[in-house]
Amino acid sequence: MRVRNKPWAESRMNDFPQYMIQQAESHKGKWHEVFGNNNPLYIEVGTGKGRFITGMAKAHPDVNFIGIELNRNVLVTALDLLIEEELPNLKLMVENAAELQKCFEKGEVSRVYLNFSDPWPKTRHAKRRLTHSSFLSVYEDILLEKGEIHFKTDNQGLFESSLLSISQYGMLLSFISLDLHNSYYDGNIMTEYEEKFSSKGSRIYRLEAAFNN
């Protein structure tokens, strides 16, 4: 999907330092200071416009959340949601998933959410998928022992390649749904993409997996 360029996004983000994390590296090992508590930290990688992460932060005030997104032009919409909701347990940051070890100490993150990640269907682009082993090793490096990733997508090919990549990595799968919206699963919070694709009749796939360390 093409995203409109918003040249004002950076200055809008600079206007809300209470919600936007700048220089995330400086908080490595000290995220509890940013939130002012020792609650567990869950991150979403590829947050997009922020519907999921704001819904999660609202539903779980005893968990700290960070929405991480490469693209300022979409994350600025998540910032608007956060300004409206005034959630003290949610921060947002512009960062590349490949660089997360610079921002978090091993064990600092308790869970990673991946929602409707770009599918990169061509084999030659497989390394760009956020469930490729190179990204799994980044998540393993920042998660606590037996930390989990929770992943949803409408894309069957991406789901199948993710199942393979996750099991080849030695992770333990604890939840798999091939049709989330027609399965028993409590507390689902929809993302923007989930709303769009499920309303057109697409099936939603979901898994949970833990590192075996």
- Dihedral angle at the C-alpha atoms of 20, 22, 26, 32, nearest 10 degrees? 0
Catalytic residue list contains 15: no
Closer residue to ligand SAM (CB): 64 or 115: 115
Q: Least distance from C-beta 37 to ligand SAM, angstroms?
A: 26
Name the residues that contact ligand SAM, by CB under 6 A: 45-48, 68-71, 74, 96-98, 115-118, 191-194
| Residues facing 136 on adjacent strands | none
Kindly report each contact of residues 180-184 with a partner whose C-beta sits within 8 Å and lies 24 or more positions away, as own/partner: 180/152, 180/204, 180/205, 180/206
Residue nearer to ligand SAM on the CB measure, 32 or 141: 141
In the complex with ligand SAM, the residue whose CB is nearer, 42 or 213, is 42
Q: Work out how close the CB of 99 gets to ligand SAM at its nearest, in angstroms, rounded to a whole number.
A: 8
Chain-centre distance for alpha carbon 17: 21
Residue of 62, 80, 118, 186 with catalytic role? 118
Q: In whole angstroms, give the CA distance from residue 113 to residue 199.
A: 22
181 backbone dihedrals φ, ψ, rounded to 5°: -75, -10
Residue 36 tokens read as 């002012």
Nearest approach in angstroms of CB 119 to ligand SAM is 8
Task: Answer whether 110's CB lies under 8 Å from 142's CB.
Answer: no
Q: Annotated active-site positions, please? A: 118
